[in-house]
Amino acid sequence: MNAGIPVGIAVLLVSAVFALGLGDIEGGGGYSGLSPRFLPSGVAAGLAVCGALLLVSGLRGRFTADEHTDSDGQASSLSPRAGRDLLWLIGGLVLHGLLIGSIGFIAASTLLMVCVARGYGSRRLLRDALIAIAITVPIWALFSRVLGIGLPLFPLAGV
């Protein structure tokens, strides 16, 4: 079976979970008249489109993954590092969720971006951290200063 079929189905299921959760979010107008459901609806719709495209690609046999040879000489669609790389991504997300309330948005998001870069093969920790800081500081400023949405800067220091 082409790998695109189960991947597409999995992404469609995640989209359905997001869509089902929309009912639990109040629909009243938020900032600038946008409902709090606006962004989650966009995520659900985007996931649905991506899942459908992956599924169609898999059904047509066009979904391809890099093939690697395992120790027995058998072709495998996953590299030996794939699991470890995925753990960097998942670990970054988990750490971000656990730490944002204590170390703040900028530090937690920087850590997330460094973990994601590592998961994609980067070994340049300092460069990745500096790029992450250059991205997260303006995002924090936009939300906190312009939009008035309080993102924690550094809660442990009372900031």
| Domain chopping of the chain, boundaries | 4-64, 82-157
Residue 104 is classified by DSSP as: -
- Is residue 110 within a helix (H) or strand (E), and if so which, with residue range? helix 105-119
Q: How far apart are CA 86 and CA 122, in angstroms?
A: 13
Helices 105-119, 82-103: axis angle to 10 degrees equals 180
User: 56-77: per-residue pLDDT in tens?
Assistant: 888 888 776 555 555 555 555 5
What φ, ψ does residue 69 adopt, rounded to 5°? Answer: -100, 130
| pTM beyond cutoff 0.85 | no
pLDDT > 90: what percent of the chain? Answer: 21
Highest mean pLDDT among 4-8, 13-17, 65-69 belongs to 13-17
- Does the pLDDT value for residue 11 go beyond 90? no
- Does the pLDDT value for residue 111 go beyond 90? yes
Average pLDDT rounded to a whole number, residues 42-49 = 89
What φ, ψ does residue 68 adopt, rounded to 5°? Answer: -125, 155
CB 11 within 8 A of CB 64: no
